[in-house]
Amino acid sequence: MFIVMPVLITLHVIVCLLIVLVILMQRPRSEGLGAAFGGGMTENLFGAQTTQVLVKATTWLAGTFFVITLLLSILTSKGTVSKTAIQESLLNAPVPQATASPAAPTAVKSPEAPVQPPASPATSPAK
């Protein structure tokens, strides 16, 4: 387990760099960055079927990238079974005691006169 993660991460980085290289080697319709490598370099390397070779290489590298990413995520989630320091401190924290509910408040009569509601605008005196 300890050796698998570094090997997969190294392989993942290599696949990422190869994907970038293969995509940059492809010749777009507008002859963008693919022309920077030289017009005939890829044709000399792969022959007349350059486009098909690069498309297949991109497909295989992308598939490999997703499989390695899935494996890394599964192995990472399996490796983090232990609780973090925050989780431990929350689990070990004392539980607050439930207090008795206070008695219902009793109505206290005040010696003051009852409050009159404000007069509505319809009943207010005209100025």
Query: Whose CA is closest to 26, among 57, 69, 1?
Result: 57
Domain ranges of the chain: 46-77
CA atoms of 94 and 105, how far apart (whole Å) = 31
Tens of pLDDT along 50-72? 778 888 999 999 999 999 999 99
Average per-residue pLDDT for the chain: 76
Q: Which two tokens stand for residue 88?
A: 């431990």
Residue 8 near residue 75, CB atoms below 8 Å: yes
pTM of the model: 0.51
CA atoms of 124 and 127, how far apart (whole Å) = 9
User: Other C-beta atoms within 10 Å of 88: how many?
Assistant: 11
Residue 46 near residue 34, CB atoms below 8 Å: no
Residue 44 near residue 93, CB atoms below 8 Å: no
Average pLDDT over residues 84-90: 82
